[in-house]
Chains A and B, each alone.
Chain A
Amino acid sequence: METVTLREPAYRKIRAYAFDPSLSLQIDTVEINEMEYTLPWEKLDPGPIGSYLEVIDYDPTLDLYYKPVDLDQPYILVENGIRPSESNPQFHQQMVYAVAMTTIKNFEKALGRKIIWSTRLLEDKNKYEEYVPKLRLYPHAFRDSNAYYSPHKKAILFGYFKSRSTHSEIQMPNALVFTCLSHDIIAHEITHAILDGLYRHYNEPTNPDVLAFHEAFADIVALFQHFTFPEVLKHQISKTRGNLENQNLLGQLAQEFGSAIGGYGSLRDAIGSVNPETKKWEPKTPNPIDYKKNVEPHSRGSVLVAAVFESFLTIYKKRVADLLRIATNGTGVLPEGELHPDLVNRMAKEASKAAKHVLNMCIRALDYCPPVDITFGDYLRAIVTADVDLVRNDDHEYRLAFIDSFRKRGIYPVGIKTLSVDSLKQKELNIFAKYENENDSNYKEFNSDVLIKNDQTKQYLSILNKFLKEYGDKIKYVTNREEIYHITSDYIGGNYENPESLVKGLYTRWAMKIEEPGTEELSTLTGLALNSHYHELGVRKADGPYNFPSFNIQNLRLISRVGPDGNLLNQVVFSIFQKSGVIIKNGKFADHFIPDDGPLPENGFILLGGCTLIFDLDSNCLRYSISKPILNIEEMEANHRFIVNSKRVEEQFQYQFDEGLEDRSNFNKYFGIDLSNNFNEPFAMLHNH
């Protein structure tokens, strides 16, 4: 007799709203509002509780638990989950799980690695941090028109409230509204959580772009996730008459997605609006001063959303140009009547494909961003760099589409003289590793004209490259997230309990190097005070007997991606951070102090510097260094003077202690919530009215 081994299924399908419940009440959208989310299979405990997420339906406003849904229960399983229903909290639990997992999967696909939640920082400085396996979702956490990600609880709290909606035609007056039933809200908040796991410091509004970026990025993910569902698009496209090239359809759709529960979390008004005279939706004309004049996080964020959306439209238009020619016999005018369903299918597919590509580009770019103090310009450079690295042949001209729509809104990276793919792409350093054995096939001579001239330093970077390669090999096939986390921590901090498997971590390797003479070039490379002059730069001495500056290393990760031509990209990335205490007088840099020695001195604040280093494992080289420097690099190179980058200091001070404070919401002003003292709940406060 043959034995049949049962394999785990690859997918689990779960029913949920494509938008939110309000659209199920409108006859023309009801059919598209319910869809099946396809998720990777995993065993789920009642909650649902899986390996990434735990849904805990405790309602503190009543001190009650609602019965948790068991998605593995056979009756529920065969039905693809519970039928969508506002009045059943078990469906709420199911929906937050489905949308959150979909978002996580989209990120993992684009990034080419597993998502790890940001660690919990501890009061106990010796332990420093702890691993958080599961993000917690509370579907009914409070009674207010808000939902937020709490970085310190590693949880998303969803609110519910009674609404006398302005859309009385689609909502019952005084009906309950649950934020956990909106695709957009869930996707938005989970993106905040994922981004926090990648870049903890993006919660710190060091310049007006940082929080705006967090908001805009979350909105972009929510928006393009919608567009990846072809069913939704098909329905809308089939309704169109006349000119299909009319991009307004998608723009209007994007905005409608966001306005379902009253526009929560949506920054999409910048895309366009309905003209009160013609009653038709019209895209908003971009203006080069859009970026400059909008400082408040939401309006500023909306500029970025609009820029990315326009890039998407340009790409889509290009992709469907041939279809339109075929359908209209080259006239561009469609015949009267309903569109051919094949055409609708093809158009929807193209739109969905373009959306997937744009979403991937936006997510991939994260690995090429500076680890602190991000600006929209940095993000544009990251998008371009990431794309050039993976997609050598840009025959659809995606990159130009991005550059053009950013330019139209006045978003320019600092220090770029012209706008082109070449100038925007981060400068390739290509510092190749030199191995002991010159016959090694990987051996390449150093480029002599690059930053690094000192032999010691070259040697060091080679060793480092080897070490990172080792890390890459070790981590490549590990799929358990906790294991990934622990291996990575060991490679950063060292694993001294088990000296056989590892001797020195990345941190110690850097630290020991700084003491060696001639390695100042590490400072040139990173913009950080990784040299003996650190005392003069407001940088603390590291704890321990050695004389080197304090710094820390985070975000060590392997990037392994497959490009459209089947080409492989294997890179290891990590970021170095350093704090410098600066004192300001009359808006100008005046002096330094040593951070973390008691309370802040008068007029003192901490400048955070950071640098992301990207090593290419296939060509054995250090490819990019993306830095937000502490040092004034120009002075260091030209005159060998080690002074602080006073331009960054002054800009940050100006924003954090003046402009940014003026621009806070009324709520934050009343409750004395400023940029640094925000409850440690930056998103809760940002979302308050």
Chain B
Amino acid sequence: MYRAGTGDCFILKFYAGKTKKFTMMIDGGVWKGSKTYLAHFVQNIKETTGGIIDLLVITHEHLDHVLMFERCEHIFKDFIIEELWFGWTENDSDKKVKEWKKKYGDRKIALKMVADKLNNLIVNKNIENSLKGNFNAKEMYNARVNFSEIISGFSELHISEGDNENIYKGALKGMHVIKNKLNIKKIKFLNQGEIVKNIKNLPGIKFYILGPPDLYDQVNKESGKEGETYNHNKDLDEHELFSLSVQRDQSERLKEILLPFERSFIDNNKTAQSIYEDPIKVWRKIDYEWLFSAGNLSLRMNSLTNNLSLAFAIEFEESKKVMLFPGDAEIGSWESWHKIKWPEKGANNKHLTEDLLNRTVFYKVAHHLSHNGTAQSLGMELMEHTELTAMATIDYSNISNGWKNTMPNKALLKELLKRTKGRLIIQNEDNIYYDLNDKIKLSSKIKDAKESMNSDELTSFTKNLAIPKPKLISYQKGNENVTEEKILYFEYTVSGE
């Protein structure tokens, strides 16, 4: 697990005895990072792999899973990548995928535009002025600033800088680099329910493809709870009207598609204008409230993309031990795993998915410890192997604003600590707290949890976890030059025996 910041970048080396047989890389992303900063990590990947990757897996198209490829194309282009895996949803030649991506792309533009719009309204003080005179005006303003910063965060997660207006290319730049600029010998698009075995140089290992789900309906499902919401399918169509008006070109005549009613109902005399724009009733105007609908849009897009994650289980055939890499799959994806029609049953006649979860000894925590990332009864509670170890890619020194509010999820942490007996390896524990009032440090909670390991367990855990010496790295951060000592990665050995 690399430690560039919140985001996934994993190298897996498979050994037979002492001989390295196979090198696999899963994702290469981080929330933020300059070219010079990320080069230290990518250079290290190059050194440790010799620039040869047998299998590269890209789980999904989010900045925190692909940014390194965008920034460090110059290093990656010399790599030899034997095989690249995507979920079926990245197969651009598929007509359905294409259609969906077009629609999705439109929403991405809308999200970016609304983020910019909100930003402008804040910079130009429109929002501040619209709240003037109200009791608590300042708090109200701050809440709106905070909100739009989080919208911007979501926008950045999905859309590369400079990708606005007409130059939108559909994919994040990192994704574009992976698909078009790297030396890749073979690409494979995987479907839910596939079992991949007999991989060259990798005998005794099987891959079970769990996600992304086959149907968009399942992809669409984020979290199960029904509140005061409409009980209809939550899909992108619902945001179509909103997106259309965000993307509207003000200089053009209003297009028919934008109007909810016949044109004849428009009041060109603006009868109500004198009331609506009454200068002493400015506080009642609603010019900007509608932009905050972007909140729902951004959350939905985020969940959708997360659910498109290529999620898979790696099984050691002999020992039946399993390593689980779900990408950032959310509840909708987890649920669908349990409906896969596997060609075989699991042990004790269980559904194979349940059995795989039962046998999981290594779990890459989905979606950086968020509540939606790990299903409870359909996920966490089925991971009952006594050797369970988990790694979570969360780092508060490099994370999107909104994420701090949902990650880590306390209930999930509690369960993970119990089930792993403290074998929970966090990318960076600093400044992460277990409780909501920032009193109990996560690190001390993990330490406490380790007490429940017996001495053998503790010995082998300590032996399996290798922490390299910190490296002195210099890089650019904004306009500054930074030099710091950094541990580039944590290494953990999983025995397949």
Residues of A within 8 A of B (CB): 46-47, 49, 54, 56-62, 64-68, 87-90, 120-124, 136, 138, 140-146, 150, 152-155, 157, 159-167, 174, 176-178, 215, 259, 261-265, 267, 296, 298, 603, 657-658, 661-662, 665-667, 669-673, 677-680, 684, 686-689
Give Cα A653 to B26, complex, Å.
44
- B residues in contact with A138, CB < 8 Å: 286
Q: From B8-16, B118-126, B269-277, give the one contacting chain A.
A: B269-277
Contact of B436 (CB < 8 Å), options: A263, A658, A666: A658
- Is the CB–CB distance between A66 and B265 below 8 Å? yes
Contact with A along B77-103 (1 / 0, CB 8 A): 000000000000000000000000000
Closest beta carbon of chain B to A666's beta carbon, Å: 6
- Is the CB–CB distance between B299 and A153 below 8 Å? no
Most buried by A among B147, B229, B435: B229
For the complex of A and B, list the 8 residue pairs with the smallest distance between their C-beta atoms, beginning with the closest: A121-B135, A142-B290, A262-B230, A144-B293, A143-B242, A61-B245, A262-B231, A65-B267
Given contacts A57-B272, A142-B290, is CB(A120)–CB(B228) below 8 Å?
Answer: no
Closest beta carbon of chain B to A613's beta carbon, Å: 26
Known contacts A60-B286, A68-B267, A603-B437; can you find 4 more A-B pairs with CB under 8 A? A66-B267, A658-B436, A669-B406, A670-B406
Of all chain A residues, the one with the shortest Cβ separation from B262 is A87
- Is the CB–CB distance between B242 and A123 below 8 Å? no
Can you list 24 A-B pairs with a CB-CB distance of less than 8 A? A47-B272, A56-B272, A56-B275, A60-B288, A62-B258, A64-B254, A64-B266, A67-B267, A89-B265, A122-B134, A123-B136, A142-B289, A143-B241, A153-B284, A157-B286, A162-B238, A164-B232, A298-B228, A666-B223, A669-B371, A670-B295, A679-B147, A680-B136, A684-B292
B478 contacts A by Cβ under 8 Å? no
Closest beta carbon of chain A to B258's beta carbon, Å: 6
B234 contacts A by Cβ under 8 Å? yes
Contact with A along B202-238 (1 / 0, CB 8 A): 0000000000000000000011011111111111011
Residues of B within 8 A of A (CB): 132-137, 139-140, 142-144, 146-147, 150, 222-223, 225-235, 237-242, 245, 248, 254, 258-262, 265-267, 270-273, 275-276, 283-284, 286-290, 292-293, 295-296, 299, 371-372, 401-403, 405-406, 410-411, 435-437
Give Cα A667 to B283, complex, Å.
26
Contact of A166 (CB < 8 Å), options: B143, B222, B225, B233: B233
Given contacts A58-B272, A688-B295, is CB(A141)–CB(B290) below 8 Å?
Answer: yes
- A residues in contact with B288, CB < 8 Å: 60
- Is the CB–CB distance between A667 and B299 below 8 Å? yes
- Is the CB–CB distance between A143 and B290 below 8 Å? yes
Of all chain A residues, the one with the shortest Cβ separation from B295 is A671
Give Cα A46 to B258, complex, Å.
25
Contact of B227 (CB < 8 Å), options: A123, A144, A177, A665: A665
Closest beta carbon of chain A to B412's beta carbon, Å: 11
- A residues in contact with B293, CB < 8 Å: 142-144, 146, 159
- Is the CB–CB distance between A62 and B227 below 8 Å? no
Of all chain A residues, the one with the shortest Cβ separation from B240 is A162
- Is the CB–CB distance between B296 and A689 below 8 Å? yes
Contact of A122 (CB < 8 Å), options: B135, B238, B289, B401: B135
Given contacts A65-B271, A671-B147, A679-B143, is CB(A90)–CB(B265) below 8 Å?
Answer: yes
- Is the CB–CB distance between B296 and A144 below 8 Å? yes
Give Cα A89 to B292, complex, Å.
24
Give Cα A236 to B293, complex, Å.
38
Closest beta carbon of chain B to A110's beta carbon, Å: 25
Give Cα A161 to B234, complex, Å.
12
- Is the CB–CB distance between A163 and B230 below 8 Å? yes
- A residues in contact with B270, CB < 8 Å: 65
- A residues in contact with B284, CB < 8 Å: 136, 153-155
Of all chain B residues, the one with the shortest Cβ separation from A154 is B284
Most buried by A among B254, B260, B401: B260
Of all chain B residues, the one with the shortest Cβ separation from A144 is B293
- A residues in contact with B143, CB < 8 Å: 673, 677-680
Give Cα A122 to B238, complex, Å.
37
Given contacts A162-B240, A678-B143, is CB(A121)–CB(B286) below 8 Å?
Answer: no
Of all chain B residues, the one with the shortest Cβ separation from A658 is B436
Closest beta carbon of chain A to B328's beta carbon, Å: 14
- A residues in contact with B150, CB < 8 Å: 670-672
- A residues in contact with B299, CB < 8 Å: 666-667, 670, 689
- B residues in contact with A153, CB < 8 Å: 283-284, 286
Closest beta carbon of chain B to A635's beta carbon, Å: 28
Closest beta carbon of chain A to B27's beta carbon, Å: 22
Of all chain B residues, the one with the shortest Cβ separation from A680 is B140
Closest beta carbon of chain A to B378's beta carbon, Å: 17
Give Cα A670 to B298, complex, Å.
10
- A residues in contact with B258, CB < 8 Å: 62
Given contacts A62-B254, A66-B266, A87-B261, is CB(A667)–CB(B295) below 8 Å?
Answer: yes
- Is the CB–CB distance between A145 and B229 below 8 Å? yes
Contact of B229 (CB < 8 Å), options: A143, A162, A264: A264
- A residues in contact with B292, CB < 8 Å: 142, 684
Give Cα A49 to B295, complex, Å.
32
Closest beta carbon of chain A to B263's beta carbon, Å: 10
- A residues in contact with B232, CB < 8 Å: 145, 163-167, 262
- Is the CB–CB distance between A666 and B238 below 8 Å? no
- Is the CB–CB distance between A298 and B227 below 8 Å? yes
Give Cα A49 to B271, complex, Å.
12
- B residues in contact with A688, CB < 8 Å: 295-296
Closest beta carbon of chain A to B62's beta carbon, Å: 15
Given contacts A261-B230, A661-B436, A678-B143, is CB(A62)–CB(B248) below 8 Å?
Answer: yes
- A residues in contact with B295, CB < 8 Å: 667, 670-671, 688
Give Cα A209 to B71, complex, Å.
51
- A residues in contact with B137, CB < 8 Å: 123
Give Cα A133 to B54, complex, Å.
73
Closest beta carbon of chain A to B419's beta carbon, Å: 20
Contact of B245 (CB < 8 Å), options: A143, A667, A687: A143
- B residues in contact with A140, CB < 8 Å: 260
- B residues in contact with A684, CB < 8 Å: 292
Give Cα A688 to B234, complex, Å.
13
Of all chain B residues, the one with the shortest Cβ separation from A92 is B261
Give Cα A59 to B289, complex, Å.
11
Of all chain A residues, the one with the shortest Cβ separation from B228 is A687
- Is the CB–CB distance between A54 and B237 below 8 Å? no
- A residues in contact with B401, CB < 8 Å: 672
Give Cα A491 to B405, complex, Å.
46
- Is the CB–CB distance between A662 and B275 below 8 Å? no
- Is the CB–CB distance between A166 and B276 below 8 Å? no
- B residues in contact with A60, CB < 8 Å: 286-290
- Is the CB–CB distance between A672 and B405 below 8 Å? yes
Closest beta carbon of chain B to A120's beta carbon, Å: 7
Give Cα A153 to B406, complex, Å.
30
- B residues in contact with A265, CB < 8 Å: 228
Closest beta carbon of chain A to B135's beta carbon, Å: 3
Give Cα A150 to B137, complex, Å.
14
Contact of A164 (CB < 8 Å), options: B238, B241, B283: B238
- Is the CB–CB distance between B265 and A657 below 8 Å? no
Of all chain B residues, the one with the shortest Cβ separation from A59 is B260
Given contacts A154-B284, A671-B295, is CB(A264)–CB(B289) below 8 Å?
Answer: no
- Is the CB–CB distance between B231 and A123 below 8 Å? no
Give Cα A672 to B436, complex, Å.
12
Closest beta carbon of chain B to A348's beta carbon, Å: 29
Give Cα A90 to B264, complex, Å.
12
Contact of A665 (CB < 8 Å), options: B225, B260, B265: B225
Closest beta carbon of chain B to A534's beta carbon, Å: 24
- Is the CB–CB distance between A62 and B286 below 8 Å? no
Closest beta carbon of chain A to B156's beta carbon, Å: 15
Give Cα A154 to B403, complex, Å.
32
- Is the CB–CB distance between A671 and B286 below 8 Å? no
- A residues in contact with B411, CB < 8 Å: 662
